[in-house]
C-alpha cells in the first residue's frame, strides 16, 4: 500500500503535515507550499503506480527543459513541466501560467518532432490542471476548454498514462 500524499490524501490528520497545513491555511493556501512539495508528492504517487520518473533540475540543462521525464509499461515516455499556483482556483475561467522563456516552445517542438506527449501540470489551491502542450499559448493564457481539470492528485495518473 503506497504511503498517502501528506498534503492531500491524509486531509491534514497526520502529524507530519499538520503544522505545514495550518501555516498554509493562514496564508490562503490549500494545496502545496512550493513546487518542490508538489513535485515530491506527484513523484511518490507516480512511482507507487509503477512509473519510472526522473526529475530534471540542473543549471546545465538547456532553456525550456521540463521538470521531469516519465515512462511506464502502459505508456510511452513523456515530459512534464510542473507549476505551483496556490492562489488561483481550478474553477477560474482561464489561467495565466508562469512559463519561463523557452518552456512552451521546447514542449511544443518536442511533441511535434518526436511525436511524444508533453504536459504542464499545475497545482492550484483547490485542484489541478493538466495542459497538453499541443500548441503555444499566447500571453501564457490557458482557458478551461484547453486543459483537463481535476481535484485529486491521483487523477493525474490517468491523464499521464495515455
pLDDT tens over the chain, length 162 residues: 334 444 445 555 555 555 444 444 444 445 688 888 889 889 999 999 999 999 887 666 566 788 899 988 888 899 999 999 988 999 999 999 999 888 999 999 999 999 989 999 999 988 999 999 999 999 999 999 999 999 888 899 999 988
The four Cα atoms 162, 112, 97, 48 give a dihedral, to 10 degrees, of 30
Contacts by residues 133-136 (CB-CB < 8 Å, ≥ 24 positions apart) = 133/81, 133/104, 133/107, 133/108, 134/108, 135/108, 136/104, 136/105, 136/108
Nearest to 121 by CA among 132, 130, 112, 113: 130
Q: What CATH architecture applies to the domain 15-160?
A: 3-Layer(aba) Sandwich (3.40)
Sole residue written with cell 505545514: 20
**Does pTM top 0.75 for this prediction?**
yes
Round to whole Å and give the CA distance between 33 and 25: 10
Domain residues of the chain, as ranges? 15-160
Smallest CA-to-CA distance from 103 within 142, 150, 45, 52 is with 142
Mapped onto helix, strand or coil, the DSSP state of residue 44 is: helix
Amino acid at each position: 500500500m503506497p504511503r498517502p500524499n501528506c498534503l492531500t490524501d491524509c486531509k491534514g490528520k497526520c502529524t507530519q503535515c499538520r503544522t505545514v497545513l495550518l501555516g498554509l491555511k493562514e496564508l490562503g493556501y490549500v494545496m502545496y507550499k512550493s513546487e518542490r512539495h508538489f513535485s515530491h508528492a506527484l513523484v511518490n504517487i507516480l512511482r507507487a503506480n509503477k512509473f519510472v520518473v526522473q526529475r530534471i533540475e540542473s543549471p546545465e540543462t538547456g532553456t525550456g527543459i521540463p521538470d521531469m521525464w516519465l515512462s511506464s509499461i502502459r505508456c510511452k515516455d513523456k515530459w512534464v513541466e510542473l507549476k505551483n499556483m496556490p492562489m488561483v482556483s481550478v474553477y477560474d475561467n482561464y489561467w495565466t501560467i508562469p512559463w519561463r522563456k523557452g518552456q512552451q516552445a521546447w514542449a511544443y517542438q518536442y511533441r511535434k518532432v518526436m511525436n511524444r506527449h508533453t504536459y504542464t501540470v499545475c497545482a492550484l489551491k483547490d485542484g489541478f490542471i493538466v495542459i497538453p502542450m499541443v500548441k503555444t499559448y499566447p500571453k501564457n493564457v490557458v482557458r478551461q476548454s484547453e486543459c483537463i481539470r481535476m481535484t485529486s492528485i491521483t487523477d493525474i495518473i490517468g491523464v499521464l498514462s495515455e
